[in-house]
Amino acid sequence: MGITGMMRTSVSGMNAQGNRLSAVADNVANASTAGYKRASVQFSTLVVPTGASSYESGGVNSHIGYEISKQGVSRNTGLPTDVMINGGGFFRVSDNPSGSPEYLTRAGSFTSNNEGYIQNAAGYYLLDNSGKPLRVELVGVGLAAAKPTQSVDMRANLRADAMIIDKAFNPKDETTFNHKKSVTVYGRQGETINVDWYYTKTAQNTWEMRAFVGDMPMGTQEDAPAGTVVELKFDQDGNLEEPAANPLFQISGKNEPFPVEIKLYGDEFLPDPADPANRIPKPNISQIGAQDVFALDQSGGVPVGKFDGFTFSRDGVLEVSYSNGLTNKQGFVGLASVIAPERLTVINGTAFQSNSESGPYITPSIAGVEGSGAATLFGYLETGVLEESNADIGNELTDMIEAQRNYTANSKVFQTGSEVMDVIVNLKR
């Protein structure tokens, strides 16, 4: 049995090194696979009972494992739908839009299909924190509702030595006003409305301000549609005294009018010169020097927007963005883990399945954590990057050379056993 045992042991060794080479081949082939976890082969001895005067060679057992807990390096892609978990958690996914059965993965290259479901490159559906498929919900044809302008920041300086005009105001006669400035605002349905603002100096330290849309004067709720004339009064130092508050104009275009606050005063506050203990709002408009300065900007209004993509926040919120700059938050990315990640069953598509050895899935709700606590246990998300394979090409090639040499050495043992058998067979002759 010594010679045949030797040959069987060498075959066992070749099989073991063959398994190691197969693992190396898998690792090299998936060196660029996002979320791939390196396969490794460990060995243990197989002992055959040996007598006092003869030695029976045993063999070697192979044990296949995966370095699932080891995080791969990040690779920048710049794509907002590419996401990586920085921590020990996994994405909850399913190969069925029903959300069952449920698997885990670290591969975060996601896109949305024609039904809005979010899938990764392997086709797995991303699940939310309740275990249901996460879906980009679009209203109608994927348009985001417009928002009307809420205010106009009127930052300006009117030159102190401007000419006083005593003619009746006429928007078509440039000699009846000192300045005309325009700003674009957005209506209730997202339409753009060009509002012209006219400034006329009527007396020392006194100006009149009017608003027109085309030939139609705009006004406050009380004055519309006749139009409003806002009188601007400045003190001897050029500081705005009147009006004491921001006027509210009703702006109308082709649709229903909407209120717009004209911010002659900003959000900053200054000590009141008459009572330093009191604070008054800082004016946006002044009358000093010999230079006119105007900076008119609308705030709060956006046009109708179309679907422009989605991404994920650091804490896992699905954020749907539109071309008008609006963002709609829809659901949370489902994260999970297990007690023994290395014991997970590896399946196709860089995914894993729980079993009795790994333990059941642990979610934030099961663990009783949320917010920063969930991030500590499961990790936080980084967008625009993917987790690379944790297999290192240099190490794999080193393992391949070592396994090849060991395989060759085992084959030599088998060859020697074969030659010894030939000698025994030839003794009969």
What gap in Å lies between CA 335 and CA 106, rounded to an integer?
A: 10
Pick from 58, 64, 69, 70: nearest CA to 5: 58
What gap in Å lies between CA 298 and CA 294, rounded to an integer?
A: 13
What gap in Å lies between CA 111 and CA 256, rounded to an integer?
A: 40
Element (H, E) at 314: none
- The class level of CATH for 151-299 reads mainly beta
Tokens in use for 179?
């300045």
3-state class (DSSP) for residue 236: coil
Q: Kindly state the DSSP code that residue 175 receives in the 8-state scheme.
A: G
pTM as predicted: 0.70
The per-residue pLDDT string of the chain (429 residues; one tens digit each, 9 = 90 and over) reads 577 777 888 888 888 888 899 999 999 999 999 999 999 998 888 887 776 677 777 788 889 999 999 999 999 999 999 999 998 899 999 999 998 999 999 999 999 998 889 999 999 999 998 899 999 887 655 667 778 889 999 999 999 999 999 999 999 999 999 999 999 999 888 888 999 999 999 999 999 999 999 888 888 765 545 568 899 999 998 888 888 888 888 888 777 888 999 999 988 887 777 777 788 888 999 998 888 888 888 888 888 888 888 999 988 899 988 887 888 888 889 999 999 999 999 999 999 999 999 999 988 776 555 544 456 678 889 999 999 999 999 998 998 999 889 888 888 887 887 777 777 778 765
What gap in Å lies between CA 337 and CA 391, rounded to an integer?
A: 21
What gap in Å lies between CA 383 and CA 108, rounded to an integer?
A: 9
List the domain boundaries for the chain. 2-70+390-427, 77-134+317-324+333-341+349-386, 151-299
The string of DSSP letters for 68-122 reads -SSPPPEEE---TTBEEEESS-EEEEESSTT--SEEEE---BEEE-TTSBEEETT
Question: Starting at the edge strand that comes first in sequence, how are the strands of the sheet with 317-322 ordered?
Answer: 143-144, 305-312, 317-322, 327-332
**Is 279:268 a contact under the CB 8 Å cutoff?**
no
